[in-house]
Structure 1
């Protein structure tokens, strides 16, 4: 079978570009309505995307004064979208730091049944200190401790999903037997962080095993992704570095006894599409003009574990602050942002603008053909199994990608022209 791209949509409000709600291409009054979310999901489904992905945030972002960073609950959104879509996968974030395994296992198992096998869980070990205060914690655990809890959390969730055998439901009207108790098992988990008896109240997944997504690129993040993930979302700007990351992930997956290609590596891209290169550049400048450095610095400070960036002159070179990062800060995103600034000699303002248009992912500014060319290059070079698409503005940015770029990819035989499977796992296994 010919290898084809896997695409996931990162759906965030009216787009990922900072303050994009000010653009006439958006309608911020619609952002918290089912009509808006349904249109996005149906558009991505029309483009034959594998998955519709909703991230989460457990604290009100410090950028709220300038940016539309209010957030609905992902599981609620996806449950509603299960009723208005039929094929696209529905992937949501749920934190292993501020949840319990039984609740998460039950929520996603329920979503999976309601969607006929289209659910996926994005595993996140929350690295935002202000989220801790919303859950009664004095402080955020350090990076290692978060991942130790996360590893055990995932193991408990998977054990709960496996506790029901596929044929546990009997439903024999004559005998009156609904379920075969010998095929429903307690898990009796006694670990460092969790003690969970089980079983779950929800039968086994219609797709056999609910797919997992993960986005950590630190050594412990790579280890978790390689061990359990079906999709790995990653931030990459350089082809060689992206290829090296993908190869490392495949090697690590094989070390856990998995097929080296079992993990779909999906770098993030923010396509800004124009009918001509000039049109695309003008649109990028227009969106960039809306960015508030204040808001983007707030986003960066949150990524850097709360480190104060306001003390730096916006037009001075970005300083090497790696030694100043607190222990609870994330690893991969700060390293990427700081490395980008130091390697390219960016000022604080320039880094803020670069990050602001795409939350740090790689912008692809160009015509439908040039964007398809870049995607094909990374795909054929082994740097990507596909992409997670983060439109700068919604819904127009997504509509333009589906209407103009997707047909180019399909014409080249790089993307399915119709769904052959009905579950998220079937999409990922193509």
Structure 2
């Protein structure tokens, strides 16, 4: 944060250490064994379970819940990990209310679904705490695959390929692996360094080498990777951030929400993080919610999220919206930014109300702001990539791109929904397709 921005009211230490610890504690603590047994007993173990169909990784949810109910959470965890090797993180961050729990029969009948997400966390945490890895590598194949990006898609792809006996080299640009899980999710959802511990646990399969500080287009090219490896998987995510396109957007105090979240996630001392008194977050997705809630937890007095469409059109789930509201975040909908005002540093953001089709109404208002976070989506950065489809890498089948021997998955690939669990499914399925292709 620059000195000018700090002078305008953005400063660290707005809350004491006790308040910070309380605010950033685990938002959904793990079930204890008795709670898990009670929660598991509520499952009907449906034969044609709609929860399975609603899960992008197609975990056999009734089976793993029955395994918990019979006192074998380690077996339940293996059932989960067979489909989703990042099942521990997904149990923490998946929007279960719109996926498995939203499809639960009890949700339909009683508006009180089985706590699938918390049961999944109970099982996976139990097995991971035991320190063992539930899978072993097949016999070596002699094949080498490059995975570009150590996010959810890349990690899932690498693990599945290593299981098949292939040697995998993950190339990643950042100091820590994990991608979105390490840098892009609210700290109160993944406490105690879980993202890093999960990667360490995943790597115990063996056969995976991690090379950091490697960016596609800078330290390596796609052509060079194709020459050096038998196959390439791209899980590079979305590195660019969309701009507002407004006058004054470059004022001090106007920042990208993803950078704020990443800085917070890597901070050793939350009290040292500067935060404004009046914070405005522009956007309506999960990144906007995570930025807004964490700004409030750091001590911002007023935090307002502003989204251009109605509340039911927000990408953030209603559960996340309600969580933000309970934390004191004000949500304004059907409004678009038209100007950023200030003298050097931001002082106000001007908005105009719009109709559902974004037609302007002429009615404008201003919000005081000494800090603004932009969360209006990210874009794919990079040159010499495979063919694109609406700004993302075009794929067919299980992630095949327009370039022979190159697959892609996760946020960088067209057709996804920007969820961790979907990225895992795409990385896993691409790995299976790569294995079939290499087997001839």
- TM-score, scaled to structure 2: 0.26
- TM-score, scaled to structure 1: 0.27
Between the two structures, name the one with larger relative contact order (CA 8 Å, sep ≥ 6): 1
